[in-house]
């Protein structure tokens, strides 16, 4: 699930261009790969912010990473933004700050609500999107999922276990994305 906000796909394209060089790169979203394997290998498979933790909770992370590797040409990249909430499991916050976009009547607010498991290993995530309409706030979209908390070590192990090479974690500052971005190369 991708929460509305600033364009994040540009960050994935920038990372791919930095590794693969300039030029057009064929790509696919991991969810699309899981729905239907591309007819031809692609240069880049992208995984949005909450996808890997959701797949991990559904016991589908290993199969999804294997599918991504098979969809890539040799030397192709998996680029994934993954929240690292393992340090928060002790605190179990109920929500991050709301995200506000637009101005005046075009303003929208996105709110996340977190419901942590007792042991802190997973959390439920509800995303509510509110928009102004006739001077009032209205709920325009609501999505709920459950995610496993993944540490840096677990993400690295999952990527190398799926057969990726040159696994690298880019900090938010390095990637220009609010979350760490993982880059892994298909053999």
Place of tokens 């690295």: 156
Least confident span in 7-11, 28-32, 147-151: 7-11
CB of 137 within 8 A of CB of 120? Answer: no
pLDDT tier, 10 (very low <50, low <70, confident <90, very high otherwise):
confident
The more confidently predicted of residues 128 and 4 is 128
The model's pLDDT over 46-58, given as tens digits with 9 standing for 90+, comes to 999 889 999 999 9
Rounded Cα distance between 185 and 187, Å, is 6
Domains and CATH numbers, the chain: 9-84+150-185 (3.40.50.150), 99-147 (2.20.25)
pLDDT tier, 134 (very low <50, low <70, confident <90, very high otherwise):
confident
pTM recorded for the entire structure: 0.84
3 pLDDT more than 50: no
Q: What is the mean pLDDT of residues 129-154?
A: 93
Helix residue ranges, H only, the chain: 9-20, 30-35, 51-57, 61-71, 152-161, 172-175
pLDDT score for 9: 53
One DSSP character per residue, 97-143 reads PPEEES-GGG-EEEEEEEEE-TTSSEEEEEEEEEEEETTEEEEEEEE
CB of 34 within 8 A of CB of 178? Answer: no
Least confident span in 3-7, 72-76, 158-162, 163-167: 3-7
- Cα angle for residues 59, 63, 65 (degrees, 5° grid): 110
The model's pLDDT over 106-122, given as tens digits with 9 standing for 90+, comes to 899 999 999 999 999 99
């Amino acid at each position: 699930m991708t929460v509305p906000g600033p364009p994040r796909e540009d960050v994935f394209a920038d990372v791919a261009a930095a590794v693969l060089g300039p030029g057009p790169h064929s790509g696919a979203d991991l969810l699309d790969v899981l729905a239907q394997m591309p007819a031809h290998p692609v240069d880049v498979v992208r995984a949005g912010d909450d996808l890997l933790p959701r797949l991990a909770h559904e016991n589908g992370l290993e199969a999804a990473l294997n599918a991504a590797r098979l969809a890539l040409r040799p030397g192709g990249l998996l680029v994934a933004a993954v929240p690292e909430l393992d340090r928060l499991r002790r605190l179990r916050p109920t929500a991050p700050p709301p995200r506000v976009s637009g101005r005046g009547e075009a303003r929208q607010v996105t709110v996340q609500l977190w419901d942590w498991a007792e042991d802190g290993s997973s959390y439920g995530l509800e995303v509510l999107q509110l928009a102004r309409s006739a001077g009032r706030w209205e709920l325009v979209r609501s999505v709920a999922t459950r995610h496993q908390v993944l540490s840096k070590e677990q993400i690295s192990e999952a990527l190398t276990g799926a057969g990726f090479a040159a696994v690298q974690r880019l900090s938010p500052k390095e990637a220009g994305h609010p979350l760490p971005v993982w880059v892994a190369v298909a053999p």
